[in-house]
A and B are shown apart, each in its own frame.
Chain A
Amino acid sequence: MELALAHETMARWQFGITTVYHFLFVPLTISLAALTACLQTAWVRTDKAKYFKATKFWGKLLLINLALGVATGIVQEFQFGMNWSAYSRFVGDVFGAPLAMEALLAFFFESTFIGLWIFGWERLPKKIHLGCIWMVAIGTVLSAYFILAANSWMQHPVGYTVGANGRAQLTDIGKVLFQETTLVVVFHTLMASFLTGGAFMVGIAAYQLRRQHRLKETDPAKIGAMRASLRLGLVIAVIFGIGTAVSGDSLGKVMFRQQPMKMAAAEALWDTQKPAPFSIFAYGNVSEGRNTVELTIPGLLSFLATSNFHDPVPGINDVQAQERAKYGDKAPSYEPNIPTTFWGFRWMIGFGMTSFAIAAAGLWLTRKRFWLAPEHRRGETEIPLLMLTRTKELNPFLNKWAWRVAILTMGFPLIANSWGWIFTEMGRQPWAVYGLMTTADAVSPTVSLGEQITSLTIFTLLYAVLAVIEIRLMVTYAKAGPTDEEPPSQDPTLRGPSGDADQPLAFAY
């Protein structure tokens, strides 16, 4: 028993570490690919140097990030078989299909066209080269779709039967790919991804603009590139911040219907309440449901669950009794780790919405013309002033802090994303597939503890080293700012650039 538990614990830690780590890069890749594509489209259409420089700048950061996303994604494809072979055998018939589709439709797309994009500068015709980055962007979204369809099936299994061999068998692929859970989760994840990318752009562009101000940058295209990026980031973070909230609300309602335990655990609501409150903050022992200090909004949990401020929300104890009646002793307890779900839920919402609020404030402060005296307006290629009212700039102290907060904001959605996944996966426990297979039953039966410890240690150390490398590279490139390179004057044909065969390549590793 002890040993079996150790196996499960090791496998879960590895899955948690590798997946949360992988997901630091995924939302940034999804959003930066599309945003870089937008900037490049702006360059191809307008021919303005600032868009060229912005494309190159964000493209570099995208590639640094994408490389680590791709590298850590490889593990995801194989660790189901390595640590979760019982799971793989049981669900492969259903779960394997979206994974294989992801590889066939999305991975090939992304990796082939990113190669073309990286090496295609000045070799492919401009418009085809632009098409390549759009293909990458589409590939990243497709990839998210398929893997989220697979995950949604774990949250809410549909379109299957359990066959005579005791394994799940697919009966309706349409249900797996298009069930409500999948659609809502994809919606929420994509919204949050773009909030992440928007906030990232805001942070880096704010940093660069401060730096350009300090170093008295004179190249208008470089300032213009960062100013355009700052505004783009702010707009994206605001629009997709709202989208994240709206989609998160829909997801909450789906979750309440499909996994009432998770909703109760999100609030640490022990007993059914009507109406159920939502605590903004609690101090005390959430795991026992007795809080010494708490700040609650009456009826809000009822609203989150049902769109109605008065409806009852079942508590953990009641859901536990229901699940016990339904599933017997498949698991010793049907209750997830309550402090994790309680705080995970709050950190997800708190950090996500903080970055949205910062972006909304930033959008106001850096506005171009609206309710702004002409002498305070700044051109497209100048560093914007932070204007509180028509004629009043933020005072120097607030001004300094506003720029600092803008830089800090890029970390917030990353924290929110991680906690979102920790919440939704931990909140499903003890199930691996809700109602069908427990996590304890999913572990590989013959992999030894030694092997698991080796693997967990190696991945943790490797990922830690790679994080240091990645962050240092990101900082180097963020500091370096937009390129000195000027936009290419020639548009090559499909046969490649004209001229001397001995000429150096436009790009080489």
Chain B
Amino acid sequence: MQLHDVWFVLIAVLWIGYFFLEGFDFGVGVLTKLLARDEPERRVLINTIGPVWDGNEVWLLTAGGATFAAFPAWYATLFSGFYLPLLAILVCLIVRVLSFEYRAKRSDPRWKRNWEHAIFWTSLLPAFLWGVAFANIVHGVKINEAGDYAGNVLDLLNPYALLGGLVTLSLFTFHGTVFVALKTLGDIRSRARVLARTTGLITAALAAAFLIWTQASSGDGWSLAALIVAVLALLAALGLNESGREGWAFICSGVTIVAAVAMLFLALFPDVMPSSLDPAWSLTAANASSSPYTLKVMTWVAGIMTPLVLVYQGWTYWVFSKRIGVQNIPAH
């Protein structure tokens, strides 16, 4: 295994970490309209992720930065090629940061309501668009001889990619619903469990179709194994949710995300961005990567820092591990 293959795995790990963590906080954002009935309930939802969403989002910045460092050509082609969808994601993420931070900064109900709308839309849209983006990466896009994206934005909105978007949206919503059941008390908790059944079944149908399509078009033995794990974990999450074991259900919905994203990366390897025009023009882990020296430096940095990050982020989750309900929400 060469260093650029190690880095392919590390980039996959960063995206998996991002989707596992931000997955449920996107889901919670969507639930502010789907599950919450009034303002106190919306606040319960927002506060289940209050202390942690910011740290979750850094996984994206790290995935972006690490791709830049380890696979400059991948970074360059991906972000210049997916220009408009990425622009939409960035705008959403900017507004989303502020909607959490600024919502409670004034007591004016209209101000709060506007930011709550913002939380919903800026969680829903990126949850959908990341699926579109990844489906396109796996499926291959029009990459020309120079390694640049030669298609337009409409090429990115093909049926396979749109299905991918629906899968991430529903999967993240399901993951968020299970998270809310785990983190809340009272009425909202039991309603979350009921909703988890619906969102879980929708996710199962969409994800099965998408992953089988992926397996058929670009899979191999390894990706098939990941597909099976993803499907089994999703069914397990549904079952555990029914039997009220919320902690385990959350772990299983998390494993679903891990396995599904891992499957996409397995289907992708050894390419990082296949060209649909000519396979010879595909970007691969080998031809898009940085020099061995850079990869070595970055391996040291990532090897030391990633475990440390996991420890202190894990500690944050431990500190805020208590369930909350409407009774815990202060008046102002």
Q: Which A residues lie at the B interface, using CB under 8 A?
A: 63-64, 67-68, 70-72, 74-75, 77-78, 80-83, 85-86, 88-97, 99-105, 107-108, 111-116, 118-120, 123-124, 163, 167, 169-171, 173, 444-448, 451, 454-455, 458, 462, 466, 469, 473, 476-477, 496, 501-509
- Are the CB atoms of B331 and A446 closer together than 8 Å? no
Could you tell me the distance between the alpha carbons of A96 and B301 in the complex, rounded to whole angstroms? 13
- Please determine whether B301 and A169 come into contact, CB atoms closer than 8 angstroms: no
CB distance from B103 to the nearest CB of A (A): 6
Interface of A is mostly: helix
Contact A92 B75 (CB under 8 A): yes
Can you name the residue of chain A whose Cβ is closest to the Cβ of B47?
Answer: A508
28 contacts between A and B (CB under 8 A): A67-B101, A71-B95, A77-B61, A81-B68, A81-B76, A81-B80, A82-B79, A92-B290, A93-B291, A93-B294, A96-B65, A100-B69, A101-B301, A103-B65, A108-B305, A112-B58, A114-B54, A115-B51, A167-B72, A169-B290, A173-B294, A446-B81, A496-B319, A504-B327, A507-B330, A508-B50, A508-B330, A509-B104
Contacts of B50 in A (CB 8 A): 115, 118-119, 508-509
Neighbouring B residues of A119 by C-beta, 8 Å: 50-51, 320
Residue among B55, B70, B290 making CB contact with A108, cutoff 8 Å: B55
A97 proximity list for chain B (CB < 8 A): 69, 294, 297-298
Residues of chain A within 8 A (CB-CB) of B104 are: 508-509
Does B147 make an interface contact (CB < 8 A)?
yes
Contact indicator A93/B43 (Cβ below 8 Å): no
User: Is B87 in contact with A455, judged by CB distance below 8 angstroms?
Assistant: yes
Q: Given A78-B64, A99-B65, do A93 and B313 touch, yes or no (CB 8 Å)? A: no
A104 to B72, CA, bound (A): 17
Q: Tell which of B46, B55, B102 touches A115, judged by Cβ atoms closer than 8 Å.
A: B55
Tell me if A447 and B298 are in contact (CB < 8 A). Answer: no
Please tell me if the beta carbons of B102 and A473 are within 8 angstroms of each other in the complex. yes
Partner of B297, one of A68, A103, A170: A170
The interface bits of chain B over 40-66 (1 if a CB of A lies within 8 angstroms of the residue's CB, else 0) are 000100110011111101100110111
**Is B329 interfacial (CB 8 A cutoff)?**
yes
Is B106 in contact with chain A by the CB < 8 A criterion? yes
* A contact residues around B75 at 8 Å (CB): 80-81, 88, 92, 96
Q: Which residues of chain A come closer than 8 Å to B150, judged between CB atoms?
A: 446
B190 in the interface, Cβ–Cβ < 8 Å? no
Q: Find chain B residues with CB under 8 A from A124 CB.
A: 319
How far in angstroms is the closest Cβ of chain A from B63? 8
Query: Shortest Cβ distance from A24 into chain B, in angstroms?
Result: 15
**Which A residues lie within 8 Å of B125 (CB)?**
none
What string of 1s and 0s marks CB contacts (under 8 Å) between B301-316 and chain A? 1100110010011001
Chain B residues 197 to 245 lying within 8 A of chain A, measured CB to CB, are none
Residues of B within 8 A of A80 (CB): 68, 75, 79
We find that the number of chain B residues with CB closer than 8 angstroms to chain A is 80
Q: Which residues of B contact A83 (CB under 8 A)?
A: 80
Question: Is B191's CB within 8 Å of the partner chain A?
Answer: no
In the bound complex, residues from chain A placing their C-beta under 8 Å from that of B102 are 64, 67, 469, 473
B101 CB contacts on chain A under 8 angstroms: 63-64, 67
- Known interface pairs A67-B101, A67-B102; A88-B62 also in contact (CB < 8 Å): no
State whether A508 touches B65 (Cβ < 8 A): no
Query: Which of B71, B73, B90 has the largest number of chain A CB atoms within 10 A?
Result: B90
Residues of A within 8 A of B54 (CB): 70, 111-112, 114-115
Closest residue of chain A to B146 (Cβ to Cβ) is: A445
Whether B98 is near chain A, meaning CB under 8 Å from some CB there, is yes
* Cβ–Cβ < 8 Å partners of B144 in chain A: 446
Interface centre among B61, B78, B329 (most CB of A within 10 A): B61
**What 18 additional pairs, Cβ within 8 angstroms, besides A92-B290, A124-B319?**
A74-B61, A74-B94, A78-B86, A80-B68, A80-B79, A81-B78, A88-B75, A90-B72, A96-B68, A96-B69, A99-B69, A100-B68, A103-B66, A115-B55, A169-B293, A171-B293, A473-B105, A504-B328
B173 in contact (CB, < 8 A): no
> Is B62 a contact of A100 with CB atoms below 8 Å?
yes
Q: Give the residues in chain B near A502, CB-CB below 8 Å.
A: 325, 327-328
B324 within 8 A of A: yes
Chain B hits for A93, CB < 8 A: 69, 72, 290-291, 294
Closest to A444 in B: B80
- Known contacts: A81-B75, A89-B147. The answer to whether A455 contacts B62 by CB under 8 A is no
CB atoms of A92 and B76 under 8 A apart = yes
Closest to B329 in A: A508
**List of 5 A-B pairs having minimum Cβ-Cβ separation, nearest first:** A92-B72, A81-B79, A96-B69, A96-B68, A85-B80
- Chain B min CB distance to A481 (Å): 15
Q: Which residues of A contact B6 (CB under 8 A)?
A: none
Report if B280 contacts A (CB, 8 A). no
Q: Are A71 and B98 in contact (CB under 8 A)?
A: yes
- A108:B62 contact, CB within 8 angstroms: yes
By the criterion CB–CB under 8 Å, are B148 and A445 in contact? yes
Q: Are A509 and B293 in contact (CB under 8 A)?
A: no
Contact residues, B130-156 vs A (CB, 8 A): 144, 146-150, 152-153
Pair B301/A78 contact, Cβ less than 8 Å: no
